[in-house]
Copies of this chain bind each other. A is one copy, B any other.
């Protein structure tokens, strides 16, 4: 007997037929003797409809009212899931966030979970009742409904799993796991059976849309083993078991130590539409970077890669960084207006970059993985504009039009292609 949290996203509960199919997965776990808590998102499209209504009601809106409106979507799905399970003879009931309660801070629209009282859930689970909980929401210290921001249902699932000491948290979605690369770009991409929290976090941050980065952070901190699998799999099929059997459907995201055969590289990610901006001859002294990026942060412009070289003479240096293409004009004009905060000889840049990243915990112990990357790109005649690295990741910025070519070349070069296995 295990205790399992199952999370179904919007496309998995898009309509009544989908909800019934998702319920089949729950029935399987219950019939296998497990205690099950279910986290649901709103039916696909409903959250957008509600957001649209809110926007049409007034140009400016109270985030507290926005939350009360938008949170209604999950309430509907949770009730429908309870009914669908009861129809299959399973004891089940729905809980809105405030009924658990899932406590959050007061930051409406982007609240953080501060605590979950597991008492009621534990009682119900021990009596073999399936608890269905609205994802994406909680209740503030003032008793008002809060939402966690887009994709928050993954975080709800992980937080509930931690609160009730679940053995596993299964994230059901419309893809069947985490891949070595985006299969639309790399047809030979393989599904990973296992991936470490650290790798998943890099992949999530870099645009693999399978899991929200925040939920992976919480899972890593709370040691919640995550499984990513498809709602559209045969519900009768084997599951990602606590015994970590190979060949099971889906991907298990877990502690690095649990993964026996680590690969040097787990995945190649791609983020397009990155614009680069270079400030030439900035004074190389403490506080300058803070002024430059402070000016951008004040305008809510998200900066991604940042590169600053050691200056030749210790006086002047160049700073280069990337922003989303859509923010490029705003970033340039913000920097031009911020002339009193720092000085530089010129501000220049261009749109149309692509960031390619190679991710793998194997980088920690194996030298030469970054060098392989540069060699693979050189062989295809692809020029590298920027390089940044972290402990388990190497990223480069290249010209947008080489993006897919680069990802496929690296995928082959690191031996990730499906045919190679």
Contacts and interface: CB of A to CB of B under 8 A. Distances in A.
Contact of A87 (B58, B66, B98): B58
Interface stretch (A69-77, A150-158, A322-330): A69-77
- Chain A to chain B: the 4 pairs with minimum beta-carbon distance, closest first: A58-B87, A69-B79, A72-B72, A65-B79
A93 interface: yes
A121 to B, nearest CB: 14
B99 A143 contact: yes
A68 B53 contact: no
B84 A19 contact: no
A16 B94 CA distance: 30
A364 interface: no
Nearest to A20: B57
A117 to B, nearest CB: 13
A61 B83 contact: yes
Nearest to A58: B87
Interface in A43-89: 50, 53-54, 56-62, 64-66, 68-69, 71-73, 75-76, 78-80, 82-84, 86-87
A30 interface: no
Contact of A94 (B68, B86, B87): B68
Interface in A19-59: 19-20, 50, 53-54, 56-59
B79 A54 contact: yes
B82 A94 contact: no
B72 A57 contact: no
Nearest to A99: B143
A96 interface: yes
Nearest to A82: B65
